């Protein structure tokens, strides 16, 4: 059995209309393909929350700020379709081409301010405009009840939530926990670009983030804790730490102490491959005590 692949907006709309006529709830899982277990966990969650699901596969040129990065992005549609076949006929793969998503004359962009600034937004100018534009189109095309996104792209999830709220999109946005390899490395379509040796070294990123999160929760000072984490990441073989920051989970405001639910977020370069990750940081014990007392 193989998954049905729909390539046109009209085709996916007809499919969703037929599902709606049967009274089905619909989930959408936007992806750029190169599907891994993280994506498949989103599909499972989507099908737990809805009767039918659309997985979208579109390598969105508007969210890449380097032609080389866009060219190097893995494209594995046949393999992706095989992985989705196990979900049966309750699921379709929407895989439009560039002209279907951005026909000649396309002139509209969606910009989300605030949460898209800093972090990945600083190192990848225009990236979140591209993400907000394509995700708003995908949500409007799918007309789904619920859309699922991974927390590995934590800033992206906040951008999508803000956009969906501000544009009154009727789709519920659900964030799902990061899926990790046994050694802690977050699953990412970019991991296939790591050499075997770099792949092993890359687990230092989540290790350093987790160690720093535990220290911050115990009340350690931010600057010293971040400096130690950065040293550990570089010592493991990363070429550069692009950012390493403590932000509030809600709204992503920079924090000097974890006085509310927070995230420690990082982007670091292993050779030519840019990896991002984040871990939750609970309010520091002293801060929680102050708040309670
Ligand atoms: O996270 C991704 O794979 C992409 O940014 C998304 C959400 C599919 C938009 O192209």
The reply to whether the predicted model has a pTM over 0.75 is: yes
Identify the helix (H) or strand (E) that includes residue 254: none
Our answer on whether the CB atom of 31 is closer than 6 Å to any ligand 1 atom is yes
* Pairing verdict, β 26-31 and 52-57: parallel
217: left (phi over 0), alpha (psi -120 to 50) or beta: alpha
C-alpha to C-alpha distance for 55 and 46, rounded to whole angstroms = 10
Burial level of 113, CB count in 10 A (0-12/13-18/19+)? exposed
Nearest CA to ligand 1 atom 2: 31
Residues of the chain with pLDDT under 50: 291-293
Question: Active site residue: 39, 52, 124, 193, which one?
Answer: 39
Our answer on whether the CB atom of 63 is closer than 6 Å to any ligand 1 atom is yes
62 CA distance to ligand 1 centroid (A)? 11
- Most informative mutation of 41, 63, 98 for ligand 1 (most atoms within 8 A of CB): 63
pLDDT digits (tens, 9 = 90+) for 148-178: 999 999 999 999 999 999 999 999 999 999 9
Whether 49 contacts 27, CB under 8 Å? yes
Q: What is the pLDDT of residue 287?
A: 60
Our answer on whether the CB atom of 153 is closer than 6 Å to any ligand 1 atom is yes
Q: What is the pLDDT of residue 205?
A: 98
Identify the helix (H) or strand (E) that includes residue 255: none
151: left (phi over 0), alpha (psi -120 to 50) or beta: alpha
pLDDT digits (tens, 9 = 90+) for 3-21: 999 999 999 999 999 999 9
Our answer on whether the CB atom of 155 is closer than 6 Å to any ligand 1 atom is no
């Amino acid at each position: 059995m193989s998954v049905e692949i729909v390539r046109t907006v009209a085709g996916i709309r007809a499919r969703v209309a037929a599902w709606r006529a049967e009274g089905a709830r619909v989930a959408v899982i936007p992806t750029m393909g190169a599907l891994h277990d993280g994506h498949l966990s989103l599909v499972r969650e989507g099908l737990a929350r809805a009767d039918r699901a659309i997985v979208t596969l579109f390598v969105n040129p508007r969210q890449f700020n380097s032609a080389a990065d866009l060219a190097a992005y893995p494209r594995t549609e046949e393999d992706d379709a095989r992985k989705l076949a196990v979900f049966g006929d309750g699921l379709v793969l929407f895989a439009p081409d560039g002209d279907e998503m951005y026909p000649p004359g396309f002139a509209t962009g969606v910009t989300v301010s605030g949460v898209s600034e800093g972090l990945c937004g600083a190192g990848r100018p225009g990236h979140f405009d591209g993400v907000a534009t394509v995700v708003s189109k995908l949500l409007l095309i799918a007309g789904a009840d619920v859309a699922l996104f991974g927390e590995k792209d934590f800033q992206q999830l906040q951008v999508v939530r803000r956009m969906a709220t501000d544009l009154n999109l009727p789709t519920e946005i659900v964030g799902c926990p990061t899926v990790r390899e046994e050694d802690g490395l977050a699953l990412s379509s970019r991991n296939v670009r790591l050499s075997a040796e770099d792949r092993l070294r890359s687990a230092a990123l989540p290790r350093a983030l987790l160690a720093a999160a535990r220290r911050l929760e115990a009340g350690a000072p931010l600057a010293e804790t971040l400096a130690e984490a950065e040293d550990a990441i570089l010592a493991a073989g990363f070429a550069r730490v692009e950012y390493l920051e403590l932000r509030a989970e809600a709204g992503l405001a920079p924090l000097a102490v974890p006085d509310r639910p927070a995230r420690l977020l990082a982007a670091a370069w292993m050779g030519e491959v840019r990896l991002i990750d984040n871990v939750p940081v609970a309010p520091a014990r002293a801060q929680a005590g102050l708040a309670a007392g």
